[in-house]
């Protein structure tokens, strides 16, 4: 098994992307400050609706420009939990 973890700063200290690759499976987690606001598993991206402010809003606009595709806080947490629980 090969595990690779990469941290990318997206322009400010408050916008970061963590990419974890295990063998050929890729998981991406976008953070605004300390909060996961989007994730992608093998190309399928999920974003939460912005409930914070303009910094998070700009990041979400970059990741998920179509606001109607964004998930409620509850649905986002459910989807993320399904992904992270083994």
30-74: pLDDT as tens digits: 999 999 999 998 789 999 999 999 999 999 999 999 999 999 999
Secondary structure (3-state) at 55: helix
Residue 40 Cα distances to 7, 9, 54, angstroms: 15, 17, 22
Above 70 in pLDDT, residue 2?
Answer: yes
Q: What's the total number of domains in the chain?
A: 1
Range of the domain at 75: 3-84
């Amino acid at each position: 098994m090969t595990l690779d973890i990469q941290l990318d700063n997206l322009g400010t200290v408050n916008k970061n992307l963590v990419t974890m690759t295990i063998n050929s499976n890729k998981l991406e987690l976008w953070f605004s400050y300390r909060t996961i606001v989007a994730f992608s598993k093998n190309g399928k991206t999920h974003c939460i609706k912005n409930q914070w402010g303009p910094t998070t809003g700009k990041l979400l606009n970059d990741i998920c420009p179509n606001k109607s595709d964004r998930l409620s806080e509850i649905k986002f947490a459910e989807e993320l939990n399904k992904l992270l629980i083994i």
